Amino acid sequence: MSRHRLLALFAALALALGLAVLSPMASSASAATCASGWNSSSVYTGGMSASYQGHNWQAKWWTQGETPGAAQVWADLGSCGSGSGSEGGSCDYPAWAAGHAYVAGDIVKYTNGNYYKASHDNPGYDPTISTWYWDPYSCTGGGTNPPTNGSFVVSEAQFNQMFPNRNSFYTYSGLTAALSAYPGFANTGSDTVKKQEAAAFLANVSHETGGLVYIVEQNTANYPHYCDSSQPYGCPAGQAAYYGRGPIQLSWNFNYKAAGDALGIDLLHNPNLVQTDAAVAWKTGLWYWNTQNGPGTMTAHNAMVNGAGFGETIRSINGSIECNGGNPAQVQSRVNTYQSFASLLGVPTGGNLSC
On the question of pLDDT at 90 being above 70, the answer is no
Residue 320 bridge partners (DSSP): none
Residue range 175-193: mean pLDDT, rounded: 90
Instruction: State the pLDDT confidence band at 69, using cuts at 50, 70 and 90.
Output: low
Q: How far apart are CA 99 and CA 321, in angstroms?
A: 39
Which residues are marked as active site? 208
pLDDT value for 5: 38
**CA separation for the pair 336, 55 (Å, rounded):** 47
Instruction: Determine the longest span between alpha carbons in the chain, in angstroms.
Output: 111
| Res 338 pLDDT > 80 | yes
- Which amino acid, 202? L
Calculate what percentage of the chain has a pLDDT beyond 90. 52
Contact 353, 310 (CB under 8 A): yes
Q: Choose the weakest-confidence range: 170-179, 283-292, 301-310, 330-339.
A: 170-179
144, 313, 334 from 204: Cα distances, Å? 33, 8, 6
Q: Minimum mean pLDDT among 103-117, 185-199, 307-321: which range?
A: 103-117
- Asked if residue 24 has pLDDT above 60, the reply is no
pTM of structure = 0.61
DSSP conformation class of 245: B
Return the pLDDT at 65.
64
Sheet hosting strand 74-79, strand order edge to edge: 49-52, 55-59, 74-79
- Please give the average per-residue pLDDT across 268-276, as a whole number: 95
